[in-house]
């Protein structure tokens, strides 16, 4: 029996396989079909693969018409200056930008489609001479993030986390838009949530573990904070709203939010009925999919109509989850302004500290670093650049525009320079119980002059002019080719 079966198998292989592999075009290909001559769609011509004749030296003559020489280009102001000056190069003014700075770099023959990115990132394309070594990417345009759309044009959300910016390990951000009266559905998170409203207004509410409640109406420039695990609600008011959410985990994902609709979908109806003391028929019309962001009915204009309280009452103001940051006056200095919010004035946000910084054209946020935290930035308006120094001998300069996220790891030094014609406005967010930074100018000003002289060999007059205070922001000339700031002072 076994022998007969074996012989039969051999016969089948010998007779049927050739039939299968000599099927007509469009069916299985013959095993002997040369690579490059596979059947394709009707009307196709030529060969998919080339010939073995193309391998190695074959006497092919160089084609002088195929040139990589670039002759038609223009250089922007400052591009021929010494590379170690590190001047800002406004490549948006160049029709055909080139990777040239002083005597470094070279011309770029293409492809021309990259010009938009090169013009937006001149300090990466034609870097200052000081940039060296290996520094992780610290820049992410939120405009390149996927937009998760809400239902019925109710809004959207897009995010930045370590998937987009791997270096940003301690914080992640979400840009969320809610149309008039739209909801971000009832939810909670694994991470702490700190929020800043860009525009419009929203009504937010929460219930804590003691059964205390809070409801508040917030406007552009206001802030809220909801601790991890705390259920909360966000509804846009009549003009809609857009806001920024910052979370204290770089791996946070908006897609992993705990949603009320999903809670009901993933819990047996009999259990829901037992828990809510009702009949299972009560859940016949509950959502069959998550709501995420969805249209809502108009909220009552009187906040008190929704200010629900139980036996435990309301959350007292000293530990309020909201702060009307828009009403805080900024601290104005030459070159711009700064206003800070941290647990000093907003105690519930125990490890979130932030500064809203405005930098006038030509001015800069002074060189500094943060002694206890990474820095997460979001640029609300204007154009700027940041050079990050990372020990022992690396630095990189990144260019930003509104809608961009920046990240500076602890304790790298950096500055933020306005490179545009309008004010730069950005948020500087830390994971720290107190907003703190080390000012390089103040540090040197409070160091004995002899030590500064022996270390840096600076002129005596420069050392004498070093400030004993923290400048925060330094004014500058709108002409970004300026290199002498003696008359500006500190």
Cα distance between residue 427 and residue 375, in whole Å: 10
* Token pair 């010494």 in the structure block, residue: 82
- The terminus-to-terminus CA distance of the chain in angstroms comes to 102
CB–CB of 341/383 below 8 Å?
no
**385 and 401 Cβ atoms separated by less than 8 Å:** no
Q: 3-class DSSP state for residue 398?
A: strand
Three-state DSSP class for 226?
Answer: strand
Query: Over the stretch 208-262, which tens digit does the pLDDT of each residue have?
Result: 999 999 999 999 999 999 999 999 999 999 999 999 999 999 999 999 999 999 9
CB atoms within 10 A of CB 231: 17
Residue pair 259/185 in contact by the 8 Å Cβ criterion: yes
Extended beta strands in 248-372, E state: 258-259, 293-294, 322-323, 331-333, 336-341, 352-359, 364-369
pLDDT along the chain (490 residues), means of 10: 43 42 47 58 87 86 87 93 96 94 93 84 96 97 97 98 98 98 97 98 97 97 98 98 98 96 97 97 96 97 90 94 98 97 97 98 98 98 98 98 98 98 98 98 98 98 96 95 84
Which strands form 331-333's sheet, in the order they lie side by side? 139-141, 404-408, 375-381, 424-431, 352-359, 336-341, 331-333
User: pLDDT tens across 142-180, in order?
Assistant: 999 999 999 999 999 999 999 999 999 999 999 999 999
Catalytic residue among 118, 185, 193, 428: 428
What's the rounded Cα separation, in Å, for the pair 445 and 447? 6
pTM higher than the cut 0.85: yes
Average pLDDT across the chain, whole number: 92
User: Tens of pLDDT along 247-300?
Assistant: 999 999 999 999 999 999 999 999 999 999 999 999 999 999 999 999 999 999
User: Do 240 and 226 meet the contact criterion of CB atoms below 8 Å apart?
Assistant: no
Name residues whose C-beta falls within 8 Å of residue 332's C-beta, 6 or more positions apart in sequence: none
Q: Which of 301, 290, 325 is nearest to 181 (CA)?
A: 301
Contacts of 34 (CB under 8 A, 6+ apart): none
In degrees rounded to 5, what are phi and psi of residue 254? -60, -25
- Whether residue 111 is preceded by a cis peptide bond, meaning omega within 30 degrees of 0, is yes
Q: Give yes or no: 95 in active site.
A: no
């Amino acid at each position: 029996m076994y022998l007969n079966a074996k012989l039969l198998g051999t016969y089948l292989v010998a007779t049927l396989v050739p039939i299968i592999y000599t099927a007509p075009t469009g069916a299985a290909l013959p095993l002997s079909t040369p690579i490059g001559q596979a059947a394709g769609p009707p009307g196709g011509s030529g060969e998919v693969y080339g010939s073995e004749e193309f391998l190695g030296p074959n006497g092919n003559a160089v084609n002088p018409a195929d040139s990589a020489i670039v002759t038609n280009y223009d250089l922007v102001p400052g591009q021929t200056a010494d590379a170690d000056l590190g001047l800002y190069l406004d490549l948006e003014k160049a029709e055909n930008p080139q990777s040239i700075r002083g005597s470094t770099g070279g011309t770029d023959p293409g492809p021309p489609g990259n010009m938009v990115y090169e013009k937006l990132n001149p300090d990466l394309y034609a870097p200052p001479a000081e940039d060296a070594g290996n520094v992780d990417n610290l820049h992410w345009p939120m405009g390149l993030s996927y937009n998760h759309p809400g239902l019925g044009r109710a809004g959207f959300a897009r995010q930045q986390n370590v998937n987009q910016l791997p270096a940003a390990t301690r914080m992640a951000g979400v840009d969320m838009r809610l149309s008039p009266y739209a909801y971000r559905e009832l939810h909670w998170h694994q991470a702490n949530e700190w929020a800043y409203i860009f525009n419009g207004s929203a009504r937010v509410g929460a219930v804590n573990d003691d059964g205390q409640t809070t409801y508040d109406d917030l406007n552009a420039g206001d802030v809220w904070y909801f601790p991890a695990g705390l259920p909360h609600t966000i509804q846009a008011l009549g003009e809609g709203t857009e806001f920024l959410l910052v979370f204290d985990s770089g791996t946070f994902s908006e897609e992993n939010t705990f949603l009320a609709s999903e809670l009901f979908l993933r819990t047996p109806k009999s259990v829901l009925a037992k828990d809510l003391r009702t009949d299972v028929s009560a859940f016949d019309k509950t959502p069959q999919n998550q709501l995420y962001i969805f249209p809502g009915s108009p909220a009552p204009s009187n906040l008190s109509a929704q200010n629900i309280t139980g036996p435990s009452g309301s959350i007292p103001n000293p530990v309020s989850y909201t702060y009307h940051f828009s009403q805080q006056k900024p601290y104005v200095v030459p070159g711009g302004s700064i206003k800070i919010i941290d647990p000093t004035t907003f105690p519930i946000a125990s490890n979130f500290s932030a500064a809203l910084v405005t930098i006038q054209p030509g001015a800069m946020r002074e060189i500094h670093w943060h002694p206890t935290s990474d820095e997460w930035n979001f640029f609300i308006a204007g154009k700027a650049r940041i050079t990050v120094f990372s020990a022992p001998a690396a630095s990189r300069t990144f260019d930003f525009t509104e809608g961009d996220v920046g990240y500076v790891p602890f304790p790298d030094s950096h500055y933020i320079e306005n490179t545009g014609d309008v004010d730069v406005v950005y948020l500087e967010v830390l994971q720290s119980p107190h907003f703190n930074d080390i000012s390089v100018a103040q540090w040197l000003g409070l160091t004995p002059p002899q030590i500064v002289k022996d270390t840096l060999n600076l002129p005596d007059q420069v050392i004498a002019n070093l400030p004993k205070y923290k400048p925060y922001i330094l004014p500058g000339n709108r002409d970004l080719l300026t290199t002498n700031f003696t008359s500006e002072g500190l």
